């Protein structure tokens, strides 16, 4: 069974850091690009960051550039999101997402249950 | 950034009747390889989003054939030929042509 399990969310003050983790199972992790997507009831779904299979290409939404870093460890079947200088507007449910693609990306075919991040001002 | 606009935002449907959701992008999603980089997702109550349609018209694994996607360029449609109670949820289109990927506002399908 394909599974993505996120962890690392919590309540944090503005300006502090959090590191989200996602453990993948049930598929060949290193064959797929991966993403983080967040959901805030007030703003719907927002793609946050992407990484290709070998970490050779990474991309971010403008609002997190310079503050968030996506990374992966294929030996551990794990995806990470280091979030620094957190802001109240980063408050959301963060999903770990598997892409159907490998080097590129085109569809998100598996989503985790999400980990909640709350940033207080 | 590419802006995705969905309509309607609310869609009450009688079971057994058809339903259509529309999605328009601010620029063409037709890649030079011939594929339209447009996906459809549904988020059912209490669940994470799940993929329905990828590259404009391809059903994801396990999606019934009463659900279909069509369109090209900037205008796309998701059709459900016969709505069932299990189809309740919020439907999103998303483009995957270039980063940042962006989603539509969502269309809430409810049963009359």
CA A61: distance to chain centroid? Answer: 12
Pairwise CA distance, residues A112 & B31, whole Å:
29
Given a cut of 90, whether residue A119 has pLDDT beyond it is yes
A111:B106 CB<8 A: no
Pairwise CA distance, residues B67 & A44, whole Å:
23
Q: What is the CB neighbour count within 10 angstroms for residue B22?
A: 16
Given a cut of 90, whether residue A42 has pLDDT beyond it is no
Give the pLDDT confidence score for residue A43 in this predicted structure: 72
How far apart are the CA of A76 and the nearest CA of chain B, in angstroms?
Answer: 24
Give the pLDDT confidence score for residue A57 in this predicted structure: 94
Q: Which of A107, A113, A114 to probe the B interface (max B CBs under 10 A)?
A: A107
Give the pLDDT confidence score for residue A104 in this predicted structure: 81
Pairwise CA distance, residues A46 & B103, whole Å:
7
Pairwise CA distance, residues B55 & B35, whole Å:
6
Task: Among A47, A50, A112, select the one facing B48 at the smallest CB separation.
Answer: A112
pLDDT category, A101, cuts 50, 70, 90? confident
Q: Average of pLDDT values for B32-38?
A: 96
Do residues B69 and B57 lie in contact, with contact meaning Cβ atoms separated by under 8 Å? Answer: yes
Given a cut of 80, whether residue B71 has pLDDT beyond it is yes
Question: In Å, what is the CA distance from B55 to each residue of A23, A36, B70, B99?
Answer: 27, 20, 10, 16
pLDDT category, A102, cuts 50, 70, 90? confident
Give the pLDDT confidence score for residue B101 in this predicted structure: 98
């Amino acid at each position: 069974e394909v599974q993505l399990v996120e962890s690392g969310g919590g309540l944090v003050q503005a300006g502090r850091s959090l590191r989200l983790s996602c453990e993948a199972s049930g598929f060949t992790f290193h064959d797929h690009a991966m993403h983080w997507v967040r959901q805030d009831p007030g703003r719907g779904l927002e793609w946050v960051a992407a990484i290709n299979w070998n970490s050779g290409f990474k991309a971010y939404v403008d609002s997190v550039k310079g503050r968030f870093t996506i990374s992966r460890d294929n030996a551990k079947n794990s995806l990470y999101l280091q979030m620094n200088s957190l802001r109240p507007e980063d408050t959301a449910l963060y999903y770990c997402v598997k892409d159907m693609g490998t080097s590129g990306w085109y569809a998100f075919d598996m989503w985790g249950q999400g980990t909640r991040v709350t940033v207080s001002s | 950034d590419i802006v995705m606009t969905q309509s309607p935002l609310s869609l009450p449907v009688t079971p057994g009747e058809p339903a259509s959701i529309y999605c328009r992008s601010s620029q063409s999603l037709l890649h030079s390889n011939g594929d339209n980089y447009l996906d459809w997702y549904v988020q059912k109550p209490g669940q994470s989003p799940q993929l329905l349609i990828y590259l404009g018209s391809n059903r994801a694994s396990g999606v019934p054939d009463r659900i279909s996607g069509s369109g090209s360029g900037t205008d796309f449609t998701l059709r459900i030929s016969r709505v069932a109670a299990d189809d309740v949820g919020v439907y999103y289109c998303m483009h995957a042509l270039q980063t940042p990927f962006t989603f539509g506002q969502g269309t809430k399908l409810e049963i009359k």
